[in-house]
Chains A and B, each alone.
Chain A
Amino acid sequence: MKNEYIPYKAVISSIQKESFDTNTYKVVFDDEKIGNSFDYKQGQFAEISLLGIGEAPISITSTPSRKGFLEFSIRAAGNLTDKIHELKVGDSLFVRGPYGNSFPYDEIKGKNLYFIAGGIGLPPLRSLINMVMDNRKDFGHVKILYGAKTPDEVCFKGELAEWKKVPDSEVWITVDKPCDGWGCSVGVVTELWKETEVHSENAVAFVCGPPIMIKFVLMELEKSGFKDRDIVMTLERYMKCGVGKCGHCNIGEKFVCIDGPVFTRHEVKAMPRQENVF
């Protein structure tokens, strides 16, 4: 019987600073066999540990179509993630997974795609975005709408510029508080509706971000005519085990860790009212 709770050592091969509190860590499993058997899908997450500090679920931001490593974008937000931010290239952490369901892929071929993210909500979508970009001809128009508090909190600045250059793809960025020389929009992410058109026809929207942002984005998507089944969200909940046992991420009869983290708005609406899931 496999012991799902045992994590495996992985070595940090590079660290990319994304913003003042977020880094992207590229890691490679110490044991090549473990690395080869770590077969993940876009939208899944892993449990990341530092022995003696603790463990937390982190979405895999790298893309299954690019093999040999995993990437995690981690914000220093608590005991464990603060300690991870002290690590350097060559240091190790421990990983187990992959866990959870995944973003639809074959089902969205030929469709126009909207990726709408706020702040640290972009990393969970990045896995799918890059998969789409790697197979660009299989999809319709792609539009990425991204909001952050400040220019400094915009993740994947280099990649956003690259995605913008891909034919038939658009990237729109807005910040709440601009700095001097900021060339993009100002305001919350829904302000972008005024600057670019959002059409629900043959389209699927992927949404990830802080609860308040999601709430307003859902209202705008509804106004734009998006059906609940065409709005895909990845939910966040406090988790311990990641394998449907510890109970922390329960919403109704669902476990965010195994039934999710990816849910359509249709599925979210069926969740218990009092749980405040948008």
Chain B
Amino acid sequence: MIIKKISKSDIGELLRQSVEKWETYVPVDTDQGDTLFTLLPKEGSELENALEKVNLKDEWTVISPKDIFFPQLETMFSFEKDNIKEEVESSKKLIFGLKPCDVKGILFADAFFKRNLDDKYYLSRAEDRVIVAIGCLQPPRPEACFCTSAKTGPFIEEGFDLQLVDAGDEYIVEVASDKGREFVDLYPELFKDAEGDVSRSARKIKSDAADAVKVEVDFEKALAIMKGDPDLKENYERISERCLYCGACVYACPTCTCFNVFDDNKQDKGIRKRNWDACIFEGYTREASQHNPRKEKSVRAARRYEHKLKYDYKVNDVSGCVACGRCLASCPVNIGISKFIEEITTNKRIM
């Protein structure tokens, strides 16, 4: 792997130049105190203001960056009388500063939207992109992040074009793909050759970062248990007693891809749209006849955990959980996949 270096003070200039070629998404602090993946403005004072608020520290983006390729609400086509006009977005994108768990989430969604029949909306948005990951020195959600258990962080080995390793005043830059090489070659004055034994420094940084992750669960054991089709009715019933069925965990999850489709129109002119949906909602499986095969709350709870930890694994050999911890961090009543895993692997009541 090619290793480069870039000074932290040059990141602003790099992004300033990249917006000319790419739609550039980067974590930006909002005025309200969140950090969200934001599309950088193209020029002028708007760009400069945004660059000042770029935040590549170990902050967590509440909303998963899946919404760059799979927006919470998107247009599928517009129509007027009987004429349909397809609306597909396909700009070149630079996603800068993705956490490793979120890279895994995006790779998962890529595979899902490619499986069987192609989903043109997602695949067009995601087709031409450069992914710049940045590992976490400290877990952004200390009580919830459990990436080391699932081997999805705090740094990853593949799936990115570039990965940044925070080494104080500069980032060590790991170049993992042809696209990544082309990217660093475009900005030779910013990406400099690494001197000394940077690989060793990077290894030390990564190992310290892994030690900083405090939540640990036996992920492999959980997958093996789930594969055996255990009867977890009691666990699901207990979850369902407390769960508010608000959908926060589903919306925040980087690998949840379910959607609803609806028409938004005035008379004979309008737009067919899709928006995120959640399997835990009662109406999600309710048919026009009012028959609802998944009416019971505990069955809907089962659906969520079994989808993530059993079915995805059966189909792909990859778990549907990337251990980002967003479900637990966003849950008002303290339910999360890491806690579920702890329960089934230790046989203790955790939630």
Contacts and interface: CB of A to CB of B under 8 A. Distances in A.
Nearest to A212: B291
Q: Is the interface of B mostly helix, strand, loop or mixed?
A: mixed
B187 interface: no
Interface stretch (A153-161, A165-173, A243-251): A243-251
Contact of B113 (A245, A272, A274, A275): A245
Interface stretch (B9-17, B195-203, B253-261): B253-261
- Interface of chain A: mostly helix, strand, loop or mixed: loop
B311 A252 contact: yes
A20 interface: no
Nearest to A255: B116
B263 A272 contact: no
Interface residues of A, number: 42
B186 to A, nearest CB: 28
Contacts of B307: 250
Nearest to A4: B117
B84 A52 contact: no
Given A2-B120, A246-B258, A246-B259, A237 B285 contact: yes
A2 B286 CA distance: 30
B261 A240 contact: yes
Listed residue (A54, A81, A277) with the most chain B CB atoms within 10 angstroms of its CB: A54
B50 to A, nearest CB: 32
- The residue in B123, B260, B262, B288 that gathers the most chain A C-beta atoms within 10 A of its C-beta is B288
Contacts of A92: 82
A173 B233 CA distance: 42
Contacts of B310: 253
Contacts of B306: 252, 272
A90 B265 CA distance: 23
Interface in A55-73: 55-56
B116 A258 contact: yes
Interface string B260-288: 11110101101010100101000011111
Given A51-B263, A52-B263, A246-B258, A4 B120 contact: yes
Contacts of A238: 284-288
20 contacts: A1-B118, A5-B76, A6-B86, A51-B268, A52-B263, A52-B268, A54-B261, A77-B288, A210-B291, A236-B287, A237-B293, A243-B119, A244-B116, A247-B277, A248-B284, A250-B279, A252-B306, A252-B311, A276-B293, A276-B299
5 nearest A-B pairs in the assembled complex, by CB-CB distance: A247-B258, A78-B288, A253-B311, A52-B265, A243-B117
Given A52-B79, A238-B285, 6 more contacts: A1-B120, A1-B123, A2-B120, A210-B289, A211-B291, A245-B257
Interface of A: 1-7, 9, 51-56, 77-78, 81, 92, 94, 210-211, 236-238, 240-241, 243-248, 250, 252-253, 255, 258, 272, 274-277
